[in-house]
Amino acid sequence: MELISWEDFGAVELRVGTVIEVADFPEARKAAYKLKVDFGADIGIRQSSAQITALYSKEQLLGKQVIGVVNFPTKQIGPFRSECLITGFYRPDGAVVLAIPEQKVPNGSKLA
């Protein structure tokens, strides 16, 4: 494990947003959804590709708050431009469990 400085960690913008749209992403190499996430007035709506189809249906994701990295550069994933990284944890079987706030907080709140 590589150690990072407090300044390195402080540079990562981990923010809370609410999933407002979920669509299938059939062009992805691995099963994924296309998400639109509202990160509040200051950041706005960002889109992301997320490989979370094993544990979450589209209906379960709508309205769910998630934690995303909002200051990565845009990444081209096939025909889709991902503007943030939605965070989660890999289970031993490879499925991803979303990192979510325990209680509802305002969109755009920064992880402390």
Say how far apart CA 15 and CA 29 lie, in whole Å.
27
Q: Tokens 């920064």 — which residue? A: 110
Residue 44, C-beta contacts closer than 8 angstroms, at least 6 positions apart? 38
Q: What is the mean pLDDT of residues 69-77?
A: 95
Q: Which pairing describes strands 33-38 and 75-77: parallel, antiparallel, or unpaired?
A: unpaired
Task: Give the percent of the chain with pLDDT over 90.
Answer: 96
Judge whether residue 112 has pLDDT over 90: no
Give the residue among 28, 67, 71, 74 at the shortest CA–CA distance from 51: 28
Task: Count H helices and E strands in the chain, helices first.
Answer: 2, 9
Q: What integer is the mean pLDDT of 97-102?
A: 97
Task: Give the confidence band of 49 by pLDDT, cuts at 50, 70, 90.
Answer: very high
Average pLDDT over residues 38-47: 98
What are 75-97's pLDDT values in tens digits?
999 899 999 999 999 999 999 99
What global pTM score does this model have?
0.94
- What stretch of H or E contains 8? helix 6-11
Question: What's the Rg (C-alpha) of the chain?
Answer: 14
